[in-house]
Structure 1
């Protein structure tokens, strides 16, 4: 193999997509399932079409803001923990540099290096970036997976909105009878597509992801439809 082949060799890894894929799939599935189930429950209760549409719009706005707030708060807590670990490691490096070097050496020994090589690697990496090295190899914090609250909140809200839009648009545009049946069929089809695509991106076959999402989506829609059918509350 030539030097040029070595310089251009790159292996794509699926796990690098795990962060954004989880948030996107969770947000889109949540938006589609919760909004379509809410509107389906209102349709089963024989509510007026405008009321069904209004419930979908309210569910979209409330869900998107809830996802944004929840993701922002949870990721902010992760940031607080990361900053606390950074302060701990920074103080330890100032007060006990020898012990920190030994700790780093032990980490590399446990990963398979000989004691001599582990010590040399620890010395060189500490000289290059002591705090960054300890955060990465001791604590598990690196720039690639660093928590970003605002970005996470906006991404979750956007994903939820994308998932919630199809049933809302259907409730707005559909004027013929059978809205509930069409909403169930279209929502389950979209859920199957989302589950399939998500598993394919993650490196799987796709069908298990589609079945998982279909199962939970069906249960959610069945539950809300049953509530609407039992109470038959027509809101004007």
Structure 2
């Protein structure tokens, strides 16, 4: 804070912007985690069934592409639906402000009174916010929405696809680059290390216990690879 003006430092992160950035970062970490686990399971399963580099590469690229597109489409649909709902709520609020301004002013004052302000202060705050920007004041207080910062579905879709792709590249490279006998052990090790990192970052962003979060994702990833490895072994034997 500036001691003479009582205003926040211009470079100090605050409020909704910081929360939004953390949510996007958390979503990116989870998307990368999905890419790691799903692609690792796929390529380990194929590598257990065949030593053909071309087959493993084809399966890995197909899984990466399908997963990234699926993540992007799912995120686009989800965020678009959420945005449509938010827009409907905002349109309703705008209509109410236009048709019943006195009632809306009293409602805003009641909100601040419920937060602990005195009746006089709550009324004054409501009046000043209404005079400044009634629509934004009501949207934020009543709906918890900033009408100027609605989530962009295209941005969400692109971010999900990129994070999934980056995560999926790790097991794909780990299975292709080492010599054939070392492929599966190297992939297991690389994936578990990567999952430990994503689990740790996710726990830090969410404020949860790091050890438990890391153990959870490592066990899940190891189990997924073990199951697909077993299936690949059975398929390989059956193919012979």
Per the normalisation by structure 1, the TM-score is: 0.89
Aligned to 1:117: 121
Alignment of 1:1-236 (within 5 A): 3=3, 10=12, 15=19, 17-46=21-50, 48-142=52-146, 146-203=150-207, 206-232=210-236
**CA-to-partner distance for each residue in 1:168-190, whole Å, 9 max, x for gaps?**
12233223313112111111111
SS in 1 for 2:111: helix
What is the CA–CA distance in structure 1 between the aligned matches of 2:5 and 2:35, rounded to whole Å?
45
- Check whether the contact 1:45–1:234 (CA below 8 A) recurs between aligned residues: no
- Check whether the contact 1:196–1:208 (CA below 8 A) recurs between aligned residues: no
What is the CA–CA distance in structure 2 between the aligned matches of 1:2 and 1:91, rounded to whole Å?
39
- Check whether the contact 1:51–1:235 (CA below 8 A) recurs between aligned residues: no
**CA-to-partner distance for each residue in 1:8-57, whole Å, 9 max, x for gaps?**
66577874543112211111000000001100111122352211111111
- Check whether the contact 1:24–1:155 (CA below 8 A) recurs between aligned residues: yes
Runs of 4+ in 1 over 6 A off after TM superposition: 11-14, 233-236
- Check whether the contact 2:175–2:186 (CA below 8 A) recurs between aligned residues: no
* CA gap 1:54/1:234 in 2 versus in 1, 3 angstroms: farther
What is the CA–CA distance in structure 1 between the aligned matches of 2:148 and 2:224, rounded to whole Å?
36
Q: Give structure 2 stretches of 5+ with no counterpart.
A: none
Alignment length (residue pairs) = 236
SS in 2 for 1:177: helix
What is the CA–CA distance in structure 2 between the aligned matches of 1:60 and 1:18, rounded to whole Å?
25
What is the CA–CA distance in structure 2 between the aligned matches of 1:195 and 1:4, rounded to whole Å?
43
Per the normalisation by structure 2, the TM-score is: 0.88
After the TM superposition, which of the residue ranges 3-12 and 154-163 deviates more from structure 2?
3-12
